[in-house]
Amino acid sequence: MSRSERLFDLIQCLRRHRRPVSGQVLAAELGISIRTLYRDIATLQGQGAPIEGEAGLGYVLKPGFMLPPLMFSDEEIEAIVLGSRWVARQPDRRLSAAAVSALAKIAAVLPDDLREDLDASTLLVGPSAQAIEGIDLGTVRQAIRNERKIGFLYQDAGGAASQRVVWPFALGFFDKVRVVVAWCEMRQDFRHFRADRISGLNATDTRYPRRRQVLLKEWRATFDKPRES
């Protein structure tokens, strides 16, 4: 067990005891020495955890304390680094920059041992395929968040072009393409639009009439018959 996992388990153990609990009891529950327990208590107190008490009297965690989600297991660290590195290589420049920024913020507040694990992660992301879409995916993501209609010119696999107005509610990131998942007003059905076949993207201030969570749920029910426009 890593030190960070042990500190997290200590917090969880203290949460289970509403009254002061002796160091011997805590050490036995965690399977550590009393000396290690005292050192871990001091570490948590130094990091701001409101643990009251002292050796010989017992310890109690003040109610309402929420542990920041900064105590990660080794695999959680690997997942965070791998996911952030993958997003950082995507063609969506704003999302890529956000991934780099988020990872830096997480690293800045991690304990030293976890920061070293994060910096030394050996899970690497290979080069991404050359993106050729000519639209700003950030505009699509904004429309999804705000539940706004977008319009664009779409060219299908056969080369036929058509003007569309859609209700975007999801954006799929694949190795070589990005796909806008939306309700199409022209087709009156769910459609998948490859970003590299979209041009003339027009963001509107018109809110579409249904919640994106509802659209997402209904779309998932059609997985057995996926269609591109």
DSSP 166-177: EEEEEEEE-SS-
Q: What is the pTM of this model?
A: 0.63
* CA-CA-CA-CA dihedral for 88, 89, 95, 99, to nearest 10: -10
Q: Is residue 67 part of a domain?
A: no
Return the CATH number at 209: 2.30.30
Q: Is residue 169 part of a domain?
A: yes
Same domain, yes or no: 89 and 56: no
pLDDT the model gives residue 212: 94
Return the CATH number at 31: 1.10.10.10
Same domain, yes or no: 144 and 210: yes
The token duo for 38 is 């005292």
Low-confidence ranges of the chain (pLDDT < 50): none
CA distance 26 to 129: 52
pLDDT the model gives residue 11: 84
CA distance 142 to 146: 6
Beta strand spans in 55-188 (E) = 58-61, 148-155, 161-173, 178-184
Structural domains of the chain, count: 3
Same domain, yes or no: 15 and 36: yes
pLDDT the model gives residue 186: 96
Domain limits at 185?
Answer: 137-220
